[in-house]
Amino acid sequence: MAVPRQLPNAITIARILCAPVFLWMLLADGGADGPLRWWAAVLFIVAIATDGIDGYIARRYEIVTDLGKLLDPIADKVLTGFAFIGLSILLELPWWVTIVVLIREVGITVHRLVVASDHVVAAAWMGKLKTLAQSVALSLALLPLASVVGDWIVWVNIVTMWIAVILTIASGIDYVVTEIRGARRSRASRP
């Protein structure tokens, strides 16, 4: 079966375009636990879940591109960044959490774009684990589950959010250390 070469990148771009729609849905009714909140959460979950689909298609059909390696983490950061910002606007998440996450995400994204002409930095395992933890924590925060299953879910969300924040910081440090080591090796190998 022939798969269009740009299908994974098209899925990634669609994820990026979903982010402002998701944010509007989340904020439209002030974050009330009504239908828009549920739809916003579902849109976020579907959009973030397609991260695995575009990557799978690209690897399965050997159509991995440098553009895809660059856009894929940007799509994750746009979606999760909008979710963090939206939850903080609604005062459901402390702004310090959003600021810490955004500093890490924007900093690494800017670095990736700066070095893109030299080399493309693909997501490392710790970055992927961080994205997974953020996705789970944000999904739990976005879904108004307390009204359905009880307040205990709030504590589950607090724990998952702390895990996501810790992994965000740790993966940022890992990224910086890996890039510094790579730069040193590159300088050492030059004649």
| Domain regions of the chain by residue span | 7-189
pLDDT per position as a tens digit, 140-158: 999 999 889 999 999 999 9
pLDDT above 90 coverage of the chain, percent? 52
Tens digits of residue pLDDT in 74-108 = 898 999 999 999 999 999 999 999 999 999 999 98
Position 142 scores a pLDDT of 96
Instruction: Calculate mean pLDDT across residues 119-142.
Output: 85
pLDDT value at position 58? 81
d(CA 131, CA 134): 5
- Taking residues 21-36, what's their average pLDDT? 93
In words, the CATH class of domain 7-189 is mainly alpha
Give the global pTM.
Answer: 0.88
Structure-derived torsion over alpha carbons of residues 79, 163, 172, 118, reported in degrees to the nearest 10: -50
